[in-house]
Amino acid sequence: MPDTLLAPTRTLNSLGFAKPPAQTRVVVAMSGGVDSSVVAALLAREGYDVVGVTLQLYDHGAALAKKGACCAGRDIHDARRVAETMGFPHYVLDYENKFREAVMDEFADAYLAGATPVPCIRCNERVKFRDLMETARDLNADCMATGHYIQRAVGPHKAELHRAADPDRDQSYFLFSTTQSQLDYLRFPLGHLASKAETRALAAEFGLGVADKPDSQDICFVPNGSYAAVIEKLRPGAAQPGEIVHVDGRVLGEHNGVIHYTIGQRRGLGIGGGEPFYVVKLDADRRQVVVGPREDLATRRVPVREINWLGDAAFEDAPEQGWEVEVKVRSTRPSTPARIRPTGPNTAEVELAVAEQGVAPGQACVFYAPEGPRILGGGWIHKG
């Protein structure tokens, strides 16, 4: 695709640089999975100066036998084998301390405060797209490529972030905090593919051993999806028992820590029969789990902070009535019409056209253009 940000009279390579692939160094963030492996193989086949980098993010001695997660010791081995097969150098960087400080500690503290965090977003934001990108620049790389299903397009003003061609694989919800300077440096070679089957077919074509490797499912440092167990390990004794309270003030039972509950939860409340109750609020200060009927989960107003804005106009220059956009308040939900009204340089109130249920502090609210695939950024939902 011609890159209109560069001189139009020069021939550009597939990554948008006006020089031959052999003179273009690209660092590929390799998780050991099929997606990033195919990215590295594709670029190596095209003749780019590829350098593969895999991050060791936490104690892999405890992860070697764990299936369904990224970042385990087996994944490092798989990434190294891909590099050997395709003939490019591969390095493993020890980021355990950075990962714990930037991702795991906040994850635990957010749950203890009654929020529902999304650590994969923080990992992209603070580790992969910050620290690893600095390493890529230190290696004199022209850009960094990843296996994410999202697209980078060159717009009339600057590089833009667009949804993946395959809506079932689109990872835009997890990449909303990508800054403009990061986007200028990043490349996403898989975002245009129509299906994951195409990626696996390419892996088989290259003879990669990861062609049939299952996709990661769990958060890499949360074995078997047991968030509470991880939090207890990170913050021993921090989970305190308390009351399960109805929205009308009635005490219905007791719990052994708010970390065991999430907004919208219905099962496992331990308060017996009767009408179905849902968790509608987590009050960590009072150590209360507040429950109520399903309709009490519905909300149209969502306070958002730490906004990363990728629109063309300045965020604070929004019209009086705000920006008309579409938003996602959960990764598994479709985008829905909304209006954003800035309340500060990086804060806003989002008004949903139709009420959503189970909007939880700690989750992301991602902004999309009302028409077309462009991602306009997003922010973090808070209690207001």
- pLDDT value at residue 60: 45
**Range name among 67-81, 88-102, 136-150, 338-352 with the lowest pLDDT average:** 67-81
**pLDDT of 1 above 80:** no
Average per-residue pLDDT for the chain: 90
Structural domain contains residue 234: no
Do residues 164 and 269 share a domain? Answer: no
Do residues 307 and 260 share a domain? Answer: no
Structural domain contains residue 4: no
Mean pLDDT of 224-252: 88
Here the contacts of 13-21 (C-beta below 8 Å, separation 24 or greater) are 13/46, 14/46, 15/43, 15/48, 15/142, 15/143, 15/145, 15/187, 16/154, 16/187, 17/142, 17/143, 20/47, 21/46, 21/47, 21/48, 21/49
Most distant CA atoms of the chain, gap in Å: 73
- pLDDT value at residue 362: 94
SS3 content of the chain, % helix, strand, coil (to 5): 30, 30, 45
Mean pLDDT of 281-308: 95
**pLDDT of 203 above 70:** yes
- pLDDT value at residue 4: 43
Mean pLDDT of 23-36: 96
Residue 157's CATH number: 3.40.50.620
**pLDDT of 6 above 50:** no
CA triple 363-64-190, angle to 5 deg: 55
Better pLDDT: 64 or 242: 242
Do residues 97 and 184 share a domain? Answer: yes
pLDDT digits (tens, 9 = 90+) for 252-290: 999 999 999 999 999 888 887 678 899 999 999 999 999
Residue 345's CATH number: 2.40.30.10
**pLDDT of 2 above 90:** no
Q: Of 270, 292, 314, which closes a domain? A: 292
**pLDDT of 340 above 70:** yes
Nearest residue to 123 via CA among 167, 64, 184, 58: 58
- pLDDT value at residue 63: 41
Distance (Å, rounded) from C-alpha 289 to C-alpha 280? 8
Q: Residue 111's beta-bridge partner residues?
A: none
Q: 259 is in which domain, residue-wise?
A: 240-292
pLDDT digits (tens, 9 = 90+) for 83-127: 999 999 999 999 988 899 999 999 999 999 999 999 999 999 999
The CA distances from residue 230 to 60, 92, 123, 234, in Å, are: 15, 25, 17, 6
**Phi, psi at 202, each rounded to 5°:** -65, -40
The tally of domains found in the chain comes to 3
Structural domain contains residue 74: yes
Do residues 262 and 324 share a domain? Answer: no
Do residues 73 and 220 share a domain? Answer: yes
- pLDDT value at residue 7: 44
Active-site positions read: 123, 220
- pLDDT value at residue 14: 96
What percent of the chain stands above pLDDT 90?
76
Do residues 28 and 130 share a domain? Answer: yes
**pLDDT of 168 above 90:** yes
What percent of the chain stands above pLDDT 70?
93
- pLDDT value at residue 222: 82
Mean pLDDT of 318-342: 94
Q: Of 248, 271, 292, which closes a domain? A: 292
Q: Would you say the pTM of this structure is higher than 0.95?
A: no
**Range name among 50-59, 164-173, 293-302, 353-362 with the lowest pLDDT average:** 50-59
pLDDT band at 246 (very low <50, low <70, confident <90, very high): very high
- pLDDT value at residue 273: 64
Better pLDDT: 66 or 32: 32
- pLDDT value at residue 72: 55
